[in-house]
Structure 1
Amino acid sequence: MANVAIIGAGLIGRAWALVYARGGHRVRLWDSQPGQVEQALAFAREVAPGLAQAGLLRGRTEDQLLAALEPAERMEDALRDADYVQESTPERLDSKRRVYAELDRLAPAGAILASSTSALLPSHFTADLPGRARCLVAHPINPPYLVPAVEIVPAPWTDAACVERARSLLAEAGQQPIVMRREIDGFVVNRLQGALLHEAFRLVADGYAGVEDVDTCIRDGLALRWAFMGPFETIDLNAPAGVRDYAERYEGMYAEMFESMTRRVPWSGATLDRVEAQRREHLPADGLAQRQIWRDLRLMELAAHKERLRQGRELP
């Protein structure tokens, strides 16, 4: 069992707290905003029954999950005896630098300092720290207690042993680590997601398809495969002789498409007006919050289904 400090208990921090508590760790939560930790604990109490019913507590009870979560009045209280720190404060570089200076000063020397940032490179806010070798990014896909993939991104000076310790802790907590070999803007997830979004905006902007048609393509097409395999395994299985066969058959087709896929369409102006108008036809603005709840319930069902498959799966 590790002692985990959650620094920043907002939307991402509270979700991380569930991941680590479910993994059997002792979790202390701190936030600079009054009332934020109490809201995080209330959220845990709210979702715990659903997680238990879906079999997503990794063998623990609701009471055990909730008992593992402790509020901290001060940052130093949360960091006391911490083995691992998950920082989830606002995405501002100046703020990250200040927070990390405090974390490096206050956290035990052996504690890993992991940031949830989705956009800032770890080298940009850890370069001047005495303990920079223990700093890295652990970027989740929201919400991490239902979506297990997490990107581990080292700075150029991050100790390889710290990367492995983070990977091991996250894997033992039920996550699926993506261990990057070096940092790059957007990491892996947002670079892949961004490529798809750029093409989606292009197709709508140029009048080839509507917003709902593009969503249908993913929701009822590609995502059915992508729910349990990635793009390389997909093409490996989509040609009789595997990935090399697929590349030899279809590289030319994709190469011909590529020129028309390199023109960037702004996500603003008339294009955004069209996208927003079509989305609001399907979902009025006052229905967004309820639909977000619906999304998380569907993710819970999918996570439970995949967990049942995982437990019963036999390797060929």
Structure 2
Amino acid sequence: MKPIEKVAIVGSGLVGRGWTIVFARAGIDVGVYDSDVTIRAEAKDRIATSLADMKSAGLIDDVDGILARIHVVDELEGAVAEADYIQESVLERTDVKTQASLAIDAVMRSDAVVGSSSSGIPASAFTQACRNRGRFLIAHPVNPPHLVPVVELVPAPWTDAQVLPWLRAEMERTGQAPIVVDREIEGFILNRLQGVLLMEAWKLFEEGYASAADIDLTISKGLGMRWSFAGPFETIDLNAPGGVRDYAERLGPLYQSIAKARTDPKVWSDELIARVEAERRSILPETELRRRSEWRDRRLMALAAHQKDQPR
């Protein structure tokens, strides 16, 4: 399989725009399509704003050159027909992804590859009827993908064997950090790990152990500091004199006891959601959400710029 020269982005919301930057930044021509005229119309201006911020952070130099490789089109076929790789980033709903996959399938080249930005729905749930279904798989990014590089690659049972190693190498070439999930599982890896932490965070708040703000602080100024450069296994390997076995023998019983205490998980109630929302809105009014999201992206840019120069 040849290197990616042309990419199609289907869905130009927040995730789709991030993917557009990933590929255009890597020197690849990108066609962008969204069925929503308003979202499509504002895509390039919003990408330009992000690129200007990235230049200020020292992450890129040639904003105009990157923008010149991005082409917003009015028809799906105009983006997809000549693309070597297609990144689908439509709404996270099985029926919507099925419709998008079938539409892409109808106009794609038979040798192209389609990655879905699905956060937890496996590709087998929405690509079975595609004539080129062997070319479809999950390529789930972290939001925003142009600043957080990990990508989960998850094949469907029918994904061609050659697609996965090819896409992993191509994602690495574009500056992403792909991981392979060997077989389908709901939520993949990232959201299963995040889900465990979220469930415990909500429960600790519900039971009155700490405020939402202090639970957030525990991560942002505690666990997250280490996790920004070392994962859970490396973290514990370095947190005991004898390494991972020493840590497991010392603290395994504690974690088992904690896990056994959470034997009946429940969905977050409306009352609980309202309490967390009230605290969050007292800290950050709804009108300030977009501004704070932009702040988050700038902090991620600063972190990415720092990590770029650090030894691994």
TM-score, normalisation: structure 1: 0.94
Q: Could you say what secondary structure the match of 1:267 adopts?
A: coil
- State the alpha-carbon separation in 2 of the partners of residues 92 and 300 from structure 1: 30
TM alignment of 1:185-264, pairs within 5 A: 185-264=186-265
Counterpart residue identity of residue 148, structure 1: P
**Native 8 Å contact 1:112 1:134 kept in 2:** yes
Specify which of 41, 44, 47 is matched with residue 44 of structure 2: 41
SS in 2 for 1:261: coil
1:277-311: CA deviation from partner (whole Å, max 9, x where unpaired) = 222232222222221111111111111111121xx
Q: Which residue in 1 is equivalent to 2:56?
A: 53
4+ residue segments displaced more than 4 Å: none
Deviation for aligned residue 1:55: 2.7
Q: The residue matched to 1:192 in structure 2 has which SS?
A: helix
Whether 1:155 and 2:133 are equivalent positions in the alignment is no
Q: 1:77 and 1:104 mapped to 2: Cα distance?
A: 14
Moved more, 158-167 or 93-102: 93-102
Task: Quote the Cα distance in structure 1 between the aligned partners of 2:146 and 2:53.
Answer: 12
Structure 2: state its 5+ residue gaps.
none
Question: What is the deviation of 1:265?
Answer: 4.3
Task: Give yes or no for contact 1:121–1:183 (8 Å, CA) kept in 2.
Answer: yes
Asked if the contact 1:170–1:177 (Cα under 8 Å) also holds between the matched residues in 2, the reply is yes
**For 1:136 and 1:158, how far apart are their aligned partners in 2?**
6
Q: Supply the AA of the counterpart residue of 1:165.
A: W
Which amino acid in structure 2 is aligned with residue 208 of structure 1?
Y
Structure 1, unpaired ranges of 5+: none
Q: CA RMSD in A?
A: 1.5
The size of the alignment, in residue pairs, is 309
User: Is contact 1:202-1:264 (8 Å) kept?
Assistant: no
Kindly provide the amino acid, as one letter, of the partner of residue 18 in structure 1: I
Q: Secondary structure at the match of 2:17?
A: helix
Identity across the alignment (%): 45
Match of residue 179 from structure 1: 180
SS at match of 1:306: helix
CA displacement at 1:42 relative to structure 2: 0.6
Which residue does 2:125 correspond to in 1?
Answer: 124
CA distance in 2, matches of 1:110, 1:236: 43
- More off after superposition, 69-78 vs 270-279: 270-279
- Residue 91 of structure 1 corresponds to 92
Query: Any idea what SS the aligned residue of 1:246 has?
Result: helix
Aligned-partner Cα distance in 2 for 1:95–1:294 = 31
- The offset of 1:174, in angstroms, is 0.8
Structure 1 equivalent of residue 290 of structure 2: 289
Q: CA deviation at 1:239?
A: 0.9
Is the contact made by 1:51 and 1:300 (CA closer than 8 Å) also made in structure 2? yes
Residue 4 of structure 1 aligns to a residue in which SS?
strand
